[in-house]
Structure 1
Amino acid sequence: MQIDNNQLLRFSTAGSVDDGKSTLIGRLLYDSKSIFEDQLLAVENTSKRKGYESIDLALFTDGLREEREQGITIDVAYRYFTTPGRKFIIADTPGHIQYTRNMITGASSADAIIILIDARTGVIEQTKRHTFLASLLQIQHLIICINKMDLVDYSKEVFEKIREDYEQMASTLSIKKSHFIPISALLGDNVVNKSAFMLWYEGAPLLEILESLPVGSGNNEHYAVEARFPVQTVIRPQREGYIDYRGYAGRVASGIFRKGDEITVLPSRLKSKIKRIDTFDAELNEAFSQMSVCITLEDDIDVGRGDMIVLSNHQPRCAQEFDVMLCWLGNHTFRPGSKFIIMQANNEQTVIIKEVVYKININTFERDLNDKTLNMNDIAKVTIKSAKPLMLDAYAGNKVTGSLILIDEATRGTVAGAMVL
């Protein structure tokens, strides 16, 4: 398959603390010559002040002073770079267990995820947690980098043992494709260039794999999913000549809309046809995913923020009670009966978690039907009941309308991310 050089690949990193995620990204940027001279000079100066003999590659992603001083990544650091083969957006996420929410944020829009494993420790709990979340998030490609191979004498036996352990651990999950690469992020082995110390590895280095991955993020992706348009606001200009204009503004979440399409407004189920599709400076014949537009209809029907415009022949499910896979991100234990604000596209509703159906044992991936508590980073299937109907697609088919977050009604803090089943 030929890859379009302009095709964008979004990828995220994941792993435990000190597995070398930031160093790996720094090595990618440095060896691919994707760093501006002023950035390179700043990092060189900072490395000297810290007393390092060589450049601290992690500083290319650890941009906050507090993170630099601690030598860790706390927030999600986004970096953009381009090679002759492709354009990239990287999300470098923290490894601490209490920052799993940040890993979910970084990985939620990723086409691929790099999971780092320390060659000295092998598969650990965070490896399992991140792999399970990557499976839930339906990430297309997993790249397993066995890092710090220089500290285990570039041993093929160590690499193969970790690979075997990982494959056994992930065998029950819905993972489409995995790549395994032995690397040393610090020294650059198999990152951008092939390693002279691991001639037994016959695969490509990391960058070559990233440049060759097929992804579904091109301009044709809107044909593959159902058309969804969450309404953000109603436009009614009062200037002369526009007094009768009533448009519904928002961003196309998925699919494609055309003038003349028969549509249904949910949850009211009122029907009409698309009369116009406008942007700030032009009228369009069609609008597709990620485009911000204003849609006008042939009929004067009641449409407001939080409603969803869909094609009449392909409608989502409208429900007040539904099941999701949920990752609890709150610092406190879940309290049965608590009320939350659910946010899905532009819709906000009051909800409760009606039932914890089961929890996932992150070490064995078995379902625990007896434990109904939810603590930070727990993953569970739960039943949610909302005050009003929500327009839902299964996450496996539509990541926009199939994902949601729960906000604590009292503190306004985000306490959970969930995927509709």
Structure 2
Amino acid sequence: MLDNNQLLRFTTAGSVDDGKSTLIGRLLYDSKSIFEDQLEAITNTSKKKGHDGVDLALFTDGLRDEREQGITIDVAYRYFTTPKRKFIIADTPGHIQYTRNMVTGASTANAAIILVDARHGVIEQTKRHSFIASLLQIPHVIVCVNKMDLVDYSEEAYNKVINQFEEFSSKMLVKDVRFIPISALNGDNVVNRSTKMDWYQGAPLLHTLETIHISSDINKIDARFPVQTVLRPQSENHRDYRGYAGRVASGILRVGDDITVMPSGFTSKIKSINLFDKELEEAYAPMSVSITLEDDIDISRGDMIVRTNNKPEAVQDIEVMLCWLNNKSANPRTKYTIKHTSNEQKAIIKEIVYKFNINTLERITTDLEINMNDISKVKIRTTKPLMIDSYRENRATGSIILVDDATNETVAAGMIV
């Protein structure tokens, strides 16, 4: 039985003009998830642009530059609901210069829809987006072979794309890959089954999205509580209260648990767990609570409370798969601010181990300059220890971002190896 309150987050990715925005417009339009005033506004805009019918892409391309240029630039989030499930869509740009936006949109996704133009097959952007989906460990990948109407709904053209994608994806760690032949423009196999592709026996896209299994990306085993702030109320009733507020990043913490504060190594027991004015017996991810301890320990923002018998590594040298997001190249000896959970430290890129050739997935060890949209394995040195797990084991404590101190721009996002 499906829980109709379940929320599925999915991202769309693909090359320019593969039809991502049109596909989302078709999903919203055919599932009757568009308000009348929205439909009227888009219909009027479509007429002004000289279209015969409704330009479905306009439902997601909201920025003025996007509408003028006919492309998607920023990540557009859309929400819709069917009787079976709730959805959040992240429509990401297809241009190579906006690959960094795809990383942002895909970082919280349960599934990725990768569009491939049936005429062109698997190209560099298809590979780049598939590789990012693999790096981010998105559990489900749905490859939609779009524009089937332009290849006369040919099963041969569809199978050719499947063979190309499977040959490429065999080198990546993707758990679940599904293929659907569609025409976003005409609505074939998007919400309703196509009558023009009898050779396809699978479900349409919306049914697949409604029934796909949603697996939680929260680590339920390793208890990690990054401290955000120390609470010291000044009221008469709470003058002796000293609580540590934050969000449980993973696992479960219970009253009476033996804990260790990292990186100091001090130990204690959990005295109480508070949620507003309620006392709880346990807290689990992603709850935001305050915790008191039986001992008075020096704890500040950026420290992490963990169970004594299950501690992360506290290290200053970390290996990271880095997606470079900035226009300026990475400078290995420049100081950046690294942000990891509630911890902020100064850091440098100590060494660039290799870059990836997206087309072949080969490792490049000669030309090691990191430019925008490059994906590389690097070694980072921090001024103080970070309490880390690998991204594969724990997304919350296995991810970092780098910030340029001069401009305050986020220049890179990384997954700890």
User: For this structure pair, what is the TM-score category when the shorter chain's length is used for normalisation?
Assistant: over 0.9
Match of 1:129 in 2: 128
Q: Deviations over 1:156-181 (max 9, x none)?
A: 11110011011101111111110001
Match of 2:204 in 1: 205
User: For 1:36 and 1:274, how far apart are their aligned partners in 2?
Assistant: 50
State the Cα distance separating 1:280 from its structure 2 match: 2.0
Q: Provide the secondary structure at the position in 1 that maps to 2:112.
A: strand
User: For 2:221 and 2:100, how far apart are their aligned partners in 1?
Assistant: 27
Q: Provide the secondary structure at the position in 1 that maps to 2:165.
A: helix
User: For 1:325 and 1:65, how far apart are their aligned partners in 2?
Assistant: 34
User: For 2:332 and 2:83, how far apart are their aligned partners in 1?
Assistant: 53
Give the aligned residue type for 1:92. Answer: D
User: For 1:227 and 1:45, how far apart are their aligned partners in 2?
Assistant: 54
State the Cα distance separating 1:242 from its structure 2 match: 0.8
Unaligned runs of 5+ in 1: none
User: For 2:84 and 2:5, how far apart are their aligned partners in 1?
Assistant: 8
Match of 2:350 in 1: 354
Give the aligned residue type for 1:373. Answer: E
Unaligned runs of 5+ in 2: none
Instruction: State which of 294, 300, 319 in structure 2 corresponds to 1:304.
Output: 300
Find out whether 1:260 has 2:260 as its counterpart: no
State the Cα distance separating 1:66 from its structure 2 match: 2.6
Q: Greater CA deviation, 47-56 or 373-382?
A: 47-56
Match of 2:362 in 1: 366
Residues 167-178 of structure 1 mapped to structure 2, 5 A cutoff: 167-178=166-177
State the Cα distance separating 1:223 from its structure 2 match: 6.7
Asked if the contact 2:218–2:394 (Cα under 8 Å) also holds between the matched residues in 1, the reply is: no
Q: Deviations over 1:10-54 (max 9, x none)?
A: 100111111111111111111111122222222222222222211
Q: How many pairs were matched up? A: 417
Asked if the contact 2:272–2:279 (Cα under 8 Å) also holds between the matched residues in 1, the reply is: yes
Match of 1:407 in 2: 403
User: Structure 1 pair 417/90, CA: closer, same or farther in 2 (3 Å)?
Assistant: same
Find out whether 1:158 has 2:157 as its counterpart: yes
Match of 2:279 in 1: 283
Q: Deviations over 1:87-106 (max 9, x none)?
A: 11111111111111110011
Asked if the contact 1:258–1:274 (Cα under 8 Å) also holds between the matched residues in 2, the reply is: yes
Match of 1:239 in 2: 235
Match of 1:416 in 2: 412
Find out whether 1:16 has 2:12 as its counterpart: no
User: Structure 1 pair 118/222, CA: closer, same or farther in 2 (3 Å)?
Assistant: closer
Q: Provide the secondary structure at the position in 1 that maps to 2:29.
A: helix
Match of 2:184 in 1: 185
Asked if the contact 1:9–1:89 (Cα under 8 Å) also holds between the matched residues in 2, the reply is: yes
Give the aligned residue type for 1:210. Answer: L
Find out whether 1:74 has 2:73 as its counterpart: yes
Residues 33-182 of structure 1 mapped to structure 2, 5 A cutoff: 33-182=32-181
State the Cα distance separating 1:230 from its structure 2 match: 1.0
Q: Provide the secondary structure at the position in 2 that maps to 1:241.
A: helix
CA RMSD of aligned residues (A): 1.3
Match of 1:336 in 2: 332
Find out whether 1:274 has 2:274 as its counterpart: no
Asked if the contact 1:222–1:256 (Cα under 8 Å) also holds between the matched residues in 2, the reply is: no
Find out whether 1:321 has 2:320 as its counterpart: no
Instruction: State which of 223, 226, 237 in structure 1 corresponds to 2:222.
Output: 226
Q: Provide the secondary structure at the position in 1 that maps to 2:236.
A: coil
Q: Provide the secondary structure at the position in 2 that maps to 1:179.
A: strand
After TM superposition, where is structure 1 displaced by more than 4 Å over at least 4 residues in a row? none
Give the aligned residue type for 1:418. Answer: G
Give the aligned residue type for 1:21. Answer: K
Instruction: State which of 379, 382, 385 in structure 2 corresponds to 1:389.
Output: 385
Match of 2:246 in 1: 250
Q: Share of identical aligned residues, percent?
A: 66
User: Structure 1 pair 223/148, CA: closer, same or farther in 2 (3 Å)?
Assistant: closer
User: For 2:219 and 2:350, how far apart are their aligned partners in 1?
Assistant: 36
User: Structure 1 pair 182/95, CA: closer, same or farther in 2 (3 Å)?
Assistant: same
Q: TM-score, normalised by structure 2?
A: 0.97
State the Cα distance separating 1:418 from its structure 2 match: 0.7
Asked if the contact 1:116–1:145 (Cα under 8 Å) also holds between the matched residues in 2, the reply is: yes
Q: Provide the secondary structure at the position in 2 that maps to 1:231.
A: strand
Q: Provide the secondary structure at the position in 1 that maps to 2:371.
A: coil
State the Cα distance separating 1:222 from its structure 2 match: 5.5
User: For 2:82 and 2:372, how far apart are their aligned partners in 1?
Assistant: 39
State the Cα distance separating 1:369 from its structure 2 match: 2.1
Q: TM-score, normalised by structure 1?
A: 0.96
User: For 1:411 and 1:237, how far apart are their aligned partners in 2?
Assistant: 36
User: For 1:374 and 1:65, how far apart are their aligned partners in 2?
Assistant: 31
User: Structure 1 pair 223/379, CA: closer, same or farther in 2 (3 Å)?
Assistant: closer
Q: Provide the secondary structure at the position in 2 that maps to 1:321.
A: strand
Asked if the contact 1:255–1:289 (Cα under 8 Å) also holds between the matched residues in 2, the reply is: yes
Q: Provide the secondary structure at the position in 1 that maps to 2:192.
A: coil
Q: Deviations over 1:27-85 (max 9, x none)?
A: 11111111222222222222222222111111211122332222211111111111111
Give the aligned residue type for 1:90. Answer: I
